Structure 1
Amino acid sequence: MRFHIVCVSQFTNTPYLEEVIGHTIEIPGMPASSCAVHALVNNGAGPVYAVSHVESGWRVAAGDSIDSAIRLARDRVAATNPAVRDAGLKKAIALRRKLARGPARQHLTAVPTSASIEANPSTKESA
């Protein structure tokens, strides 16, 4: 399947969408077919694989093999509070949609990751 992941430019710190080709996988605790494993461009350092949330483009985990990326993603999802994860995904989906619309992308500065959400509980949305 083809889908877009969110990347952040190392030069401008601006997020952008990158199309990737991946295969859906099941991650316990996540809706069925909501995640996919795919290759990442790695500047010659060897193959790197990631598991990303398909709708948001949010990277769940990465590893040096497909199996390690899937294992790390399953471990990370299992270790993350579901309410925190869901709030982060909601924000990531909204940011992804803004990027897809085009010009608004210059106003975005960061896409939440599971690590940044866990480190900063204030990123949770108010009910």
Structure 2
Amino acid sequence: MPRKDLEISAMGYRKHPGMIAWILHRVTGVILVLYFILHMLGSGGVCSFLPAIVQNIYVEAVVIIMFAWHAMNGLRIIFMEFFRAAERGCFKKFLAIFTVLAVLLALVGLYYVKDVIAANSAANVEAAEGE
């Protein structure tokens, strides 16, 4: 049965929140996999330039934001599939709820990363002074 909320025009499909969520879910998944591969290569000493890139605070912040979106969107998909929320027409409500949860999860993660970076930089300063 075709979807009633999806309009097809001469220019193609109209952007639907579900299509955008689907694309973001796939893109964040691929980027997270690539990041974790680079993280493993960098921490294993395989490539000398990777630790500087992978352990950059801005890169870690982006990874936390992408992880939060990917995780919360995955939970939203589970709720949509198993609790038949799509059949009840709650799609936009679920998208809004899990987007807010993703933002909250990202903020908690960013707060934690800030503390970890501060502790690591203090340890690096102490190690440099000890030498």
The structure with the larger Rg is 2
Normalized per residue, which structure has more strand?
1
Fold similarity call, TM over 0.5: no
Normalized per residue, which structure has more helix?
2
Structure 1 length-normalised TM: 0.29
